[in-house]
């Protein structure tokens, strides 16, 4: 049976009322014995909070705030992403994962962490940063570009300023003092460059005043913070600041590198980490054209900074004719959670269990009328965590009180399908149906497929195979295209 058929397969629920009404046959034993990340049986989770009100859980469905490693709703999804492994990235950075020790100190590693929007990259990045930030491993400086900068108009020069602000903040928290020689070079550079432009002379005067009033790390933090704030808030002289930085970026990078070298030695001396590592989240929110500029055309400027970096990127950054992948030392993809192998009818146990737990940690079992309704939402998410939250949110928009019944869930599915219909051009359906009907090698990389991947119409699983989103496969345009391809195949 094809996966498209499996999507609509109707299972017969078991007669026993002692367990939920529906469990995929191949998962029934796993359902009864599976243990989630907190050590509790999956069956226990399913029966929690039977007297709940859906109004108690609406805030749990927000997907604009990534979870940290200690988040109460965090679910370990990595085991359900096919052959994905964090250890590959750790090994690239020189970490012996058997001993949890940095064995080979990297020198200027630039890594790219890639995946679909909403697939969990930001949460995964925070989990990895938490592990990496250890005296036996790295001193991690984490930057959230969504909070620090304007990702709707991001330039490479902006990011260097944000790196300086985040580094100064980390130094302040650990009470690390910076010798004046490094500070003087930075303040002199900024004052000279900013002062040359008439519209930014007032800012240059403020920088000079700050330099006189503050010393050490507080001065360093204030210097970078003023500039990043001006760029983030859209100050009238934002472009002048950018031009001043870009026109002599290599000079500023050298000054910054001297500071980075000092910090690297100091954190090692204090036992805070064996090397310095910047982890940068939020850059995956760049629009497609801006991502191409940032990760391909501007990468040589970014690499003038001699430090170790992990950047977050959209999936299309890696398919731009391979240019981004060639510009970084290594790239790592975070695949969508796998619910099926391509072309298979039997569900992938780990994926179903993980996404069921993911949903039920946000909306307990008592919020649903049956396990079949839970399964319906998981199935039509396609393994995409954010779309599973969208489906749940659509359900709550339809009702005043629970439980969420299957008709409500199907209404949510139709709404999600409508969302995707707006992103699909008529000529796309045949391409999508052809990819779905083919084996795993059918991954035609061109401008159209990059658009479909970016818009989540087409999803990438495991290492490198594609499948159209289940909500797209429910659209009439897709079913007609799929039927046409099936007729052609039958006629051969």
278 & 231 share domain? yes
475 & 449 share domain? yes
329 & 185 share domain? yes
CA distances from 455 to 399, 448, 451 (A): 29, 11, 6
Q: Is 376 inside any structural domain?
A: yes
308 & 379 share domain? no
- Which of these three, 314, 334, 354, is where a domain ends? 334
- Which of these three, 379, 397, 421, is where a domain ends? 421
438 & 308 share domain? no
375 & 483 share domain? no
CA distances from 18 to 43, 52, 299, 361 (A): 11, 20, 58, 21
What pLDDT sits at residue 244? 77
401 & 278 share domain? no
Q: Is 16 inside any structural domain?
A: no
Q: Is 75 inside any structural domain?
A: no
Q: Is 8 inside any structural domain?
A: no
218 & 191 share domain? yes
What pLDDT sits at residue 226? 73
What pLDDT sits at residue 243? 80
> Which residues of the chain fall short of a pLDDT of 50?
1-50, 213, 320-321
What pLDDT sits at residue 323? 61
- Which of these three, 421, 440, 469, is where a domain ends? 421
* Nearest 10 degrees: Cα torsion 156, 158, 160, 166: -140
479 & 342 share domain? no
Q: Is 17 inside any structural domain?
A: no
What pLDDT sits at residue 192? 73
Q: Is 77 inside any structural domain?
A: no
What pLDDT sits at residue 44? 46
Q: Provide the 8-state DSSP code for 79.
A: G
Residue 332 burial class via C-beta count within 10 angstroms: exposed 0-12, middle 13-18, buried 19 and up: buried
414 & 278 share domain? no
Would you tell me how many other CB atoms lie within 10 Å of the CB of residue 358? 22
207 & 307 share domain? yes
401 & 472 share domain? no
Total domains in the chain come to 3
What pLDDT sits at residue 406? 96
Q: Is 12 inside any structural domain?
A: no
Query: In which domain, by residue range, is 486 found?
Result: 428-491
Q: Is 389 inside any structural domain?
A: yes
Would you tell me how many other CB atoms lie within 10 Å of the CB of residue 169? 17
CA distances from 10 to 18, 23, 27, 309, 393 (A): 21, 11, 15, 48, 25
How far, in Å, CA of 231 to CA of 225, rounded? 10
What pLDDT sits at residue 201? 58
């Amino acid at each position: 049976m094809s996966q498209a058929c499996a999507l609509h397969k109707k299972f017969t629920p078991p007669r026993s009322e002692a367990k939920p009404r529906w469990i995929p046959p191949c998962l029934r034993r796993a359902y009864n014995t599976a243990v989630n990340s907190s050590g509790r049986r999956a069956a226990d989770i399913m029966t929690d909070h039977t007297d709940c009100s859906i109004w108690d859980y609406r805030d749990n469905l927000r997907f604009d705030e990534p979870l940290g490693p200690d988040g109460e709703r965090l679910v370990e999804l990595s085991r359900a992403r096919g052959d994905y492994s964090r250890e590959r990235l750790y090994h690239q950075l020189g970490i012996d994962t058997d001993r949890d020790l940095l064995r080979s100190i990297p020198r200027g590693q630039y890594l790219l962490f890639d995946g679909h929007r909403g697939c969990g990259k930001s949460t995964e990045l925070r989990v990895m940063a938490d592990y990496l930030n250890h005296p036996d491993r790295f001193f991690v400086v984490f930057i959230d570009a969504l909070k620090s900068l304007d990702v709707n108009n991001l330039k490479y020069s902006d990011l260097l300023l944000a790196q300086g602000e985040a580094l100064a903040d980390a130094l302040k928290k650990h009470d690390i003092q910076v010798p004046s020689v490094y500070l003087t070079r930075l303040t002199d550079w900024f004052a000279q460059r900013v002062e040359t432009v008439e519209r930014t002379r007032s800012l240059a005067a403020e920088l000079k005043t700050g330099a006189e009033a503050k010393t050490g790390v507080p001065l360093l933090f204030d210097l970078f913070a003023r500039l990043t704030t001006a760029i983030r808030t859209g100050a009238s002289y934002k472009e002048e600041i950018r031009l001043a930085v870009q026109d002599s970026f290599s000079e500023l990078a050298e000054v910054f590198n001297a500071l980075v070298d000092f910090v690297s030695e100091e954190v090692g001396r204090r036992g805070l980490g064996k090397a310095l590592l910047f982890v940068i989240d939020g850059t995956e929110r760049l629009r497609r054209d801006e991502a191409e500029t940032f990760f391909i055309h501007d990468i040589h400027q970014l690499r003038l900074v001699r430090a170790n970096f992990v950047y977050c990127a959209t999936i299309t950054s890696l398919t731009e004719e391979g240019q981004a992948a060639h510009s970084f030392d290594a790239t790592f993809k975070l695949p969508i959670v796998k619910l099926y192998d391509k072309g298979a009818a039997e569900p992938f146990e780990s994926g179903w269990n993980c996404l069921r737990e993911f949903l039920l940690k946000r909306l307990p079992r008592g919020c649903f009328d049956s396990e079949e309704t839970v399964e319906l939402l998981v199935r039509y998410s396609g393994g995409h965590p954010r779309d599973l939250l969208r489906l749940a949110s659509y359900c709550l928009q339809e009702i005043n009180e629970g439980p969420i019944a299957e008709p409500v869930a199907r209404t949510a599915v139709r709404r999600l399908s409508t969302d995707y219909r707006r992103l699909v051009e008529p000529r796309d359906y045949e391409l999508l149906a052809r990819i779905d009907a083919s084996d795993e090698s059918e991954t035609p990389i061109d401008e159209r497929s990059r658009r479909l991947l970016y818009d989540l119409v087409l999803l990438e699983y495991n290492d490198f195979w594609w499948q159209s989103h289940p909500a797209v496969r429910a659209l009439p345009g897709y079913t007609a295209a799929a039927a046409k391809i099936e007729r052609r195949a039958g006629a051969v």
